[in-house]
Structure 1
Amino acid sequence: MNKIVFVLLFLMGWFTGYSQSLRSDSLLQVLKSALKQQHLYVQEKEKRIGELRFALRTANSAGFNAQFNLCSKLFEEYRSYKFDSAFVYVRKLIALAERFQQKDNLIRSTIKLGSILLNSGLYKEAFDIIQKIDTANLPNALQSDFLVLRARLNGGIGEYDNDAFFTENYYRQADKDFKLADSLTPPSDFEDTINMAFIPDSVKHKQLTPAFYYQLITRRPMPAHNLAMVATRLSFAFTGEDRLFFIILGAINDIRSATKETLAIFLLGQELFKRNQTTDAFACMQEADRNAVFYGTRNRALQIESMLPLISAKLIDEKQHQKDKLLIGLLTFLIVAVILFFLLVIYRRQILRIKTSEGMIREKNAELESVNDKLWESSKIKEELIGLFFKTCSLYIEKLDTLKRETQHYIKLGKTNEVHQLLKNMHIDKEKGNLYKMLDSIFLTMFPNFIASFNALLQQEDQFWPKSGETLNATVRIFALMRLGITENEAIAKILDYSVSTIYTYKARIKSRALVPANDFDRKIMEIEFIDKPGEG
């Protein structure tokens, strides 16, 4: 019990926000998807069965353990899949246990036989089987299994009889056997937690919400069939949307485990029918009927056969009602359409003329707006570049004047070494780098998103991002000049002091790695937006 309290405290805050996410409508879509793929789950099961049957054929001459284990595995595969085959292998288990005088295994196998007879609706035969079991000196685990089987059998007969007098006696005996089984093999902490779901709300811990139980069973590692059984059982502890959610969860995992002896899909059909979701209810009942026929569940088939006509009749009524509504709507539409037709004929030509004129005007306006934008952008670019030109020229004229005066001064003094040192201090590469930085700065002022937009055209591993201390690298600078309208390779080569072939190689390499076709790359570069548009800001 302390473990349960610890789990509740640990997950308390998380479950509070999660409780709203139990949505049966979205889970119903998962169920429909699983139904479309159920043949894949069946194929997986048939593959496992085929491998086990092959192993059993090769182990026929082996000892008891090898044969018994393989027959047990085959029985478990067929147990909730197909009654006839499960019946064959449980008989083999009984025969092996009798031949090798394995008493506990004989009783265990007999209990398994009784369970599948119960699942198939053969109540009398199941009672005959369990009455033959010698329960004296049984281990607690086997005694508990026996009592659970007898309890389930009494409960099943009570439900099948549905009689005011006899059913109560069957349920009373079933409850007695369940309690006795619990006393022999106490439930685990997990089973205790599941049982707490059935405590009345006035006594139940406030954290034992449907969301808590959903997390409890889905986070616990268990086979899909076991998860289906637990979810189906939990559905009886809740009502409304929560009950529907757990039934759907059980049905989904029944499909994923290729279980044909399933209660969940039948319960889901009933619940959806009550909610007037007739189409989905009919689909679930048909699936339940197919499962019952495939497995050989006689009692379930009778229940389904009693429900299907009711659902079918309601579905027919709904479809007829929809057809009537559609017919009335269609007639109304036709009348209105005839009236509108004559009105439209009168105004059609005028409307078409107006629309044609408006379309032409919009097209011309769009063309003019595009041309104006390009002219404005070109004007701004030229304005910035001319400003950069005069600023740069002024800067270098000033430097040349300073250099001239200092050189003349040193020549007059006859200090040729100082003249040489002065010329040596003139770093052309540094000056060229300063010029590029100035050009980059002006360009990024006009196109602040150019680097990001340029890299968006490339794969992540091929992108060019400026290193620390630089604005544009050589590769990006080539395409920056293109965006300014300098598209000739010769002009770009002169500005950047590269050869024409180098410029061509850089451009070809970038285009070959682009996310867009090479023919569209230049157009994408030219579409990178200017900082402002006319009328903005």
Structure 2
Amino acid sequence: MKKYLLSVLFLLFVLVPFRAANKTDLSNELESALKLRNQYSLRKEARIDSLKRLLYPSMDDNERFRLYNAIYEEYYTYRFDSAMLYVDKEEQVAMTLSHPAYRNLSIIHRSVLLSTSGYFSESIQNLEQIDSRTLNDATRIEYYAAYEWAYSMWAEYSNDKVYAPRYYEKEMLYQDSLISVLPTGSSLYNYWKGENLYRHQRYAEAEKYYQKALEGVPVNVRLYAMVTYGLALVYSKLGDWNEYEHYLIKAAISDQVCPLKENLALQELALHIFKNRNGEVSRANRYLNYSMEDAQFYNNRLRMLEIAKKFPSIVLSYQEQNLIKSRRLQWSLICISILSIGLVVSLIYIYRQMHQLHKRRKILADMNRELQHLNKALVNTNHTREEYVSLFMDLCAAYIDKLNKYQDLVKRKVKAKQTDDLLKLVNATKLSDTDAKEFFVNFDTAFLNLYPKFIEEFNALLREGEEIIPKRGEILNTELRIFALIRMGIQDSSRIATLLFYSPQTIYNHRSVVKNKAKMRDSFEKQVEELCAVM
């Protein structure tokens, strides 16, 4: 007895943590499936589109009916309106072919959709058109399943003591008929046998048949969702709430993966979490929102009504939880605010001290930068002065050399008594082209070294398209030289004419032409004087 007790305790210590870990893994798997729900829907729609692309106008009507049937099978737990559209198409083909078997199948499909959307009497009336004696085995299964579904939904919707028992009795009658035509031992047979035993409150036996039905069925098949949901209901009746939640989560995962928009597991799971997990109201609210999204997408008014009844209590609890959190947050904020005020006062004092120190450092840094800038400017200025003193000396030396040569020439002419030639030389008023060119090159080079951005800033004063650009081989042209001299403070046209070897009228004309190109003609020359303020 002692050994038996120790064994039981050992199993409890080992299996309970394992089960808890397994439930956590399963919950994480559900969260992953919910994150991927849009991708699963896109995959489903791609599969439907691939079936639709097989349709073409001239195809055989029998093949067309089979494709319509396949598309209906994809839609009937996914989108109500689209499923009904393809039932209409099935019926049209059946009428065209006068094919009783096709017509019966389309009636059964319409009945299933009518039951799902709450049109129970219309569903039954549709099924009553069928002579069950003419049905083949496969269609007979769908026929009994459609009746069972109609009365099951009607009983659930009625939920009273007068009509619901009658519908329930009819449901059980057609459920028995359905089981009788299913292949014994098949997954569907085991599922419906489990459903039947569950209805008769034989839960332990029902659990065995459900487990058999689940063997070998993949999670992305609707039967998997149906069986796991059935198992969850069985375990709720047996009082095993861990297993109940376990199989509800499995059913909810299958609903997302298939995907099935006509589903129950997620909203049942939301209610279970709401009632049993005080700290997970937001999770329950999120699951119920997903369920409402699915019901709206499928366009199932019954499911929407059902979820709407469950919403208020969860939403109210969710709001109350948020209110409690909000109040806690308010008190926390008050405490933090008081502490913050003290901290702010301290920081202000520290900041002022730091600010004074920063200002002193900044002033010192600015003075150092200014000193460095001035030193650099002084070095540049000295360097520039040295260059132009050197240039000036070169020019003086060149012109002294020319003067000496000119003086020697005069002496030779006087000695040779060539007074006429000497008179012609003295009367010459212009320098030679070579001398003028050399003078301009020296002037242009010196000026642009002093004011390197002169041409760029000068053209900025002119209208667009009127810019003055030196030709290839030129440094400055006549117009630029005139305004270069104005920039240097020489305003008088006569002085400019003398320096550039032109007549005053020519200089005046050039000035007028350029001024007419200026953006601001009246103040143009004043603006030129202010160009290149920084060397």
User: Shorter-chain-normalised TM-score: which range?
Assistant: 0.5 to 0.7
Residue 89 of structure 1 and its aligned partner are, at CA, apart by 0.6
Q: How far, CA to CA, are the matches of 1:40 and 1:171 in structure 2?
A: 39
Q: Which residue in 2 is equivalent to 1:45?
A: 44
Name the SS for the 2:316 alignment partner.
Answer: helix
- How far did residue 314 of structure 1 move? 0.9
Shift of 1:55: 1.4
Q: TM-score, normalised by structure 2?
A: 0.54
Deviation at 1:271?
A: 1.9
Q: 1:205 to 1:68 in 2, by over 3 A?
A: closer
Matched, 1:27 2:30: no
- The answer to whether the 8 A contact 1:260-1:292 is kept is yes
Q: Which has the higher contact order (CA 8 A, sep 6+)?
A: 1
Q: Equivalent residue for 2:507?
A: none
Counterpart position of 1:162: 159
Shift of 1:19: 8.1
Per-residue CA distance 1:134-154 (angstroms, 9 max, x = gap): 223433443342222112211
Which of 215, 219, 229 in structure 2 is aligned with 1:232?
A: 229
What are structure 2's unaligned runs of at least 5 residues? 1-14, 347-535
Deviation at 1:196, TM superposition (A): 5.2
Assess if the C-alpha contact under 8 Å between 1:121 and 1:300 holds in 2. Answer: no
Alignment partner of 2:73 out of 76, 96, 99: 76
**What is the CA RMSD across the aligned residues, in angstroms?**
3.6
Q: Is the 8 A contact 1:218 1:227 kept in 2?
A: no
Counterpart-to-counterpart distance in 1, 2:190 and 2:31: 30
- How far did residue 257 of structure 1 move? 1.5
Q: Distance in 1 between matches of 2:129 and 2:201?
A: 42
Question: What are the equivalent positions in structure 2 for 1:107-256 lying under 5 Å apart?
Answer: 107-191=104-188, 194=191, 195=193, 204=204, 213=211, 217=214, 219-221=216-218, 223-239=220-236, 240-256=241-257
- The 1-side partners of 2:16 and 2:324 are apart by 42
Q: How many residues are treated as equivalent by the alignment?
A: 326
The residue number in structure 2 matching 1:432 is none
Contact 1:196/1:204 (CA < 8 Å) preserved in 2? no
Question: How many angstroms does 1:220 deviate by?
Answer: 3.4
Query: 1:22 and 1:61 mapped to 2: Cα distance?
Result: 58
- 1:257 and 1:163 map into 2 onto residues whose CA distance is 34
Looking at structure 2, the residues matched to 261 and 290 of structure 1 have their Cα atoms a distance apart, in angstroms, of 11
Counterparts of 1:41 and 1:31 in 2: how far apart (Å)?
13
2:284 pairs, out of 267, 281, 284, with 281
The whole-number CA distance in structure 2 between the counterparts of 1:21 and 1:223 is: 25
Max radius of gyration: which structure? 2
Q: CA deviation at 1:36?
A: 1.5
Distance 2:155 2:23 in 1: 31
Which range moved further: 155-164 or 269-278? 269-278
Q: Match of 2:300, as an amino acid?
A: T
Aligned equivalent of 1:510: none
Q: Unaligned stretches of 5+ in structure 1?
A: 1-15, 344-537
Q: Secondary structure at the match of 2:235?
A: coil
- 1:99 corresponds in structure 2 to 96
Distance in 1 (CA, whole Å) between partners of 2:233 and 2:125 is 30
Shift of 1:132: 2.0
- Mapped partners of 1:175, 1:206: distance in 2: 15
C-alpha separation in 2, matches of 1:205 and 1:45: 36
Structure 2 CA distance for aligned equivalents of residues 91 and 187 of structure 1: 34
297, 300, 305: which is aligned to 1:294? 297
Partner of 1:86: 83
2:262/2:295 contact within 8 Å kept: yes
Q: Secondary structure at the match of 1:50?
A: helix
Q: Deviation digits for residues 416-452 of structure 1, max 9, x if unmatched?
A: xxxxxxxxxxxxxxxxxxxxxxxxxxxxxxxxxxxxx
Query: Any idea what SS the aligned residue of 1:80 has?
Result: coil
Cα distance in structure 2, aligned partners of 1:340 and 1:252: 52
Distance 2:327 2:17 in 1: 43
Change (3 A) 1:178 1:285: same
Inter-partner Cα distance in structure 1 for 2:201 and 2:62? 49
C-alpha contact (below 8 Å) 2:220/2:257 kept by paired residues: no
SS at the partner of 1:165? coil
Kindly state the Cα deviation for residue 17 of structure 1 after the two structures are TM-superposed.
10
- Partner residue in 2 for 1:324: 327
Distance 1:33 1:185, change over 3 A: closer
Give the conservation status (yes or no) of the 8 Å contact 2:78–2:259. Answer: yes
Which digits, 9 at most, give the CA deviation of each residue in 1:274-300, with x for residues without a partner? 224321111111111111111111111
Structure 2 residue aligned with 1:262: 263
Partner of residue 482, structure 2: none
| CA-CA distance at 1:101 after TM superposition | 2.5
Alpha carbons of structure 1 residues 50 and 145: separation in structure 2 relative to 1, 3 Å = closer
